[in-house]
Amino acid sequence: MQLFRIGLGLLLAALLGMLFGIWNFGFSLFMHAEDLGVTSDPELVDQLIGIPPQTKSLVIAAVIGAGLCVLLLVGSFVYPRRSRHHPS
């Protein structure tokens, strides 16, 4: 049961991290495009900002990783590990 709960928590953290990473990066791209007065054409946005696709995937991976670390830290504080030795 404990293992199932840990697995479920990790899966949820991964999904939240991915969603946050994709949303955050997309939002920053959208803000840059709006500053430059560009329509929402992704190729045009990429050319104007000058971000190669490899860098984009690295940034997304970094944001996802950071999100996961934060979620795991928060989770470890919210759900502290119960000690196996129950004091009687």
| Helix ranges restricted to H, the chain | 2-35, 42-49, 53-78
pTM, to two decimals: 0.35
Domain region containing 46: 11-76
pLDDT (tens, 9 = 90+) of the chain, 88 residues, equals: 677 777 777 777 777 777 776 666 666 666 665 555 555 566 665 665 666 666 777 777 777 888 787 778 777 777 766 655 555 4
The closest alpha carbon to 45, from 25, 59, 62, 61, belongs to 25
Is 6 part of any domain?
A: no
Q: What is the DSSP string of 51-64?
A: --HHHHHHHHHHHH
- Judge contact between 67 and 16, C-beta under 8 A: yes
Total structural domains within the chain: 1
Q: Is residue 40 part of a domain?
A: yes
Instruction: Confirm whether 86 is domain-assigned.
Output: no
